[in-house]
């Protein structure tokens, strides 16, 4: 902590700003490889293939499946953003087309 204070006193805010362009860890879920996998799952596979009782994917169900598949926490909001990035549109408010 004292290093931060020293840098602040010498260089003001520039001394304590993160030098990396994108601070924090890199998102794993939104890599190109994962996006292609998600697109393939949504467009070519039924949830029944993976043991779910639904015929169509919902954002929440897809997020749950991706969490178990990738062994990481995948939120419905992250899933929704990826689906939007892929250009996949909804059939209705709950199901993916």
Query: Residue 10: its pLDDT value, please?
Result: 84
DSSP helix/strand/coil, 90? strand
d(CA 5, CA 23): 20
Query: Residue 4: its pLDDT value, please?
Result: 75
What is the domain extent for residue 81? Answer: 27-97
Position 97 pLDDT exceeds 70: no
**Number of structural domains, the chain?**
1
Let me know if residue 4 belongs to a domain: no
Let me know if residue 12 belongs to a domain: no
Condensed to tens digits (0 to 9), the pLDDT of residues 17-26 reads 766 666 666 5
Let me know if residue 8 belongs to a domain: no
Let me know if residue 14 belongs to a domain: no
Let me know if residue 22 belongs to a domain: no
Let me know if residue 83 belongs to a domain: yes
Let me know if residue 20 belongs to a domain: no
Condensed to tens digits (0 to 9), the pLDDT of residues 58-85 reads 999 999 999 999 888 899 999 999 999 9
Which residues 6+ apart lie within 8 Å of 91 measured at CB? 56, 97
Let me know if residue 10 belongs to a domain: no
d(CA 90, CA 8): 50
Q: What is the pTM of this model?
A: 0.65
């Amino acid at each position: 902590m004292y290093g931060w204070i020293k840098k602040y006193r010498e260089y003001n805010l520039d001394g304590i700003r993160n030098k990396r362009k994108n601070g924090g860890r890199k998102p794993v879920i939104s890599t190109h490889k994962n996006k292609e996998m998600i697109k393939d799952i949504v467009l070519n596979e039924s949830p029944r293939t993976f043991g779910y009782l639904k015929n169509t994917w919902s954002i929440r169900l897809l997020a749950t499946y991706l969490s178990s598949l990738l062994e990481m926490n995948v939120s419905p909001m992250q899933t929704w953003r990826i689906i939007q990035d892929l250009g996949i549109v909804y059939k209705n408010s709950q199901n993916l087309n």
